[in-house]
Amino acid sequence: MHAVLTNFGSTGDILPFVALELRRYGHRAVLALPPSFESLARGHGVEFVPVGADLRGAQDDITQALLVSPERIGAADQLQTMFGPLAQGLPRMLTDLRAACVGADVLISGRVQPAARMVYDLTGIPFVSVYVEHSGSGGGHPAFQEAVRGIINPVRVGAGLPPFHNPLVDQESPQLVLYAMSQHVRPPPRDWPGHHHMVGYFFLDGDVLGWEPPAELRDFLAGGELPLFFTFGSLKHEDPDAFTDLLVEAAQRAGRRAIIQRGWSGLARKPLPPGFLAVDGMLPYAWLFSRVSCVVHHSGAGTCSLAFRAGVPQVLVPHAYDQFLWADLGHARGCAPAPLPAARLTAEHLAAAIQEALVSPLIREASAAVGERVRTEQGLLVARQHIEALLARLGRAGSAKDDWGDDEAPGARRNSALERQRARRRDF
């Protein structure tokens, strides 16, 4: 099997696809990703093809704008202006991804790569959608849906494809949809279509094998009680120094040592007081989370998954996007106190939540129980089996259509009734 794996977004959106690469099972895997992820892919020894331009700056600007002015989510015209660079970059994404799929047997894509469904509709290549994050209910706020239509539909129409009413829902695969998340965290709806499957998380455990912590981190961990760990992923804060001060004050109020990951914000740029350590780079969370007392984080899907598996208490500080949904789920499963939205965060409230997470036997017990259940799942194995079964059913091996002018591809002829029915039934 020759598989092309693609997605768009932040590192958390990409790592599950690095984990899913299928070479260990004798298949060929190609990661077709934005250019900025080439070093990540090649660092794991996976074949890489660049797709589209480097839009990290535009992504950061959008996230920062929504963090500073969340009311913009209610104004479609403002969203469309912010999304302008993404709209300009989509035609090239489509061209690059379609070229990457020539000769491939299957296209495996995350939800936030809009070019993937277009490639399927144009070529008929077997198509698998993978959700590594929450879709929200019906594709998000109406203004957000309108803005996304303004990005995707002009490119679809320009390629001779019909527009979508709700692209974030309608563009998923009609053949196979995999949810790379745990049923013990988010039980699947009972009325899911038969081609939807919740398989478990995709963990990239290869990062842990043979990894040795820097001496400073090793010594800090051994130097006292288990510390807190603060991480906010690829988010960028408007005032990193002020946010660092808030974290330090909260940890001191709670009477705890702490590790602060600098992340994309550049937190902890100035010297920290005793009992604190700043760390750079991408630490293997699978190694670290079992060695800390509590993880304080932004509720990103990937960070949540690793914290759930580690069975460690969490304090959830959602900033944007589906982070609020994951924060609600973490609290609902008993693994964390009530979420603390970043827009209303104070050192006093954060300290109280940290104390609750650490002293509550209910949170400790629930976290450990969820961790035990999540560790029994084999998401990568089950996903591979579903993908192989799809290709066996279709009888497709190396037969994806490479003719760029094929207007009669199966995807282009597919009746939209199934998509409309699915959109009405799904509230996941």
> Would strands 28-33 and 47-50 be described as parallel, antiparallel, or unpaired?
parallel
318 found inside a domain? yes
Q: Is residue 418 part of a domain?
A: no
| Domain-embedded: residue 414 | no
Q: Token digits for 96?
A: 């690059």
Do 221 and 187 belong to one domain? Answer: no
Spatial separation of the C-alpha atoms in residues 278 and 265, rounded to whole Å? 13
Backbone torsions φ then ψ of 168, nearest 5 degrees: -65, -20
141 in the same domain as 48: yes
Containing structural domain, residue 343: 206-375
End-to-end CA distance of the chain: 31
Q: What string of H, E and C letters represents the secondary structure of 2-37?
A: EEEEECCCCHHHHHHHHHHCCHHHCCEEEEEECHHH
What is the model's pLDDT at position 75?
Answer: 65
Element (H, E) at 109: strand 106-110
Single-letter amino acid code for the residue at 45: G
Residue 228 shares a structural domain with residue 142: no
* Dihedrals phi, psi of 179, to nearest 5 degrees: -105, 110
Half-sphere exposure of 237 (CA within 13 A, CB side): 26
In this structure, the answer to whether residues 191 and 307 fall within a common structural domain is no
* 104 and 160 within one domain: yes
Distance CA 182, CA 305 (A): 8
Residues 351 and 388 in one domain: no
Shared domain check, 104 and 39: yes
Structural domain total, the chain: 2
Q: Is the four-CA dihedral 185, 190, 193, 197 of positive or negative sign?
A: positive
Alpha carbons 70 and 381: distance in angstroms, whole number: 39
Residue type for 298, please?
H
For residues 288 and 208, the answer to whether their CB atoms sit within 8 Å is: no
- 78 inside domain: yes
Looking at the structure, do residues 165 and 210 belong to the same domain, yes or no? no
Rounded to the nearest angstrom, the gap between the alpha carbon of residue 180 and the centroid of all alpha carbons in its chain is 10
Please indicate, yes or no, if residue 427 is contained in any of the structural domains: no
Domain at 147, CATH number: 3.40.50.2000
Per-residue pLDDT, 236? 84
Q: Is residue 428 part of a domain?
A: no
Whole-number pLDDT of residue 64:
62
Q: Say whether both 175 and 62 belong to one domain.
A: yes
SS3 273: coil
Q: Is 412 contained in some domain?
A: no
Enumerate residue ranges in the chain where pLDDT < 70: 58, 60-76, 135-140, 207, 209, 396-428
Residues 95 and 84 in one domain: yes
Q: For residue 423, is it within any domain?
A: no
- In a shared domain, residues 245 and 370: yes
Do residues 143 and 263 both lie within one domain? no
pLDDT at 65: 62
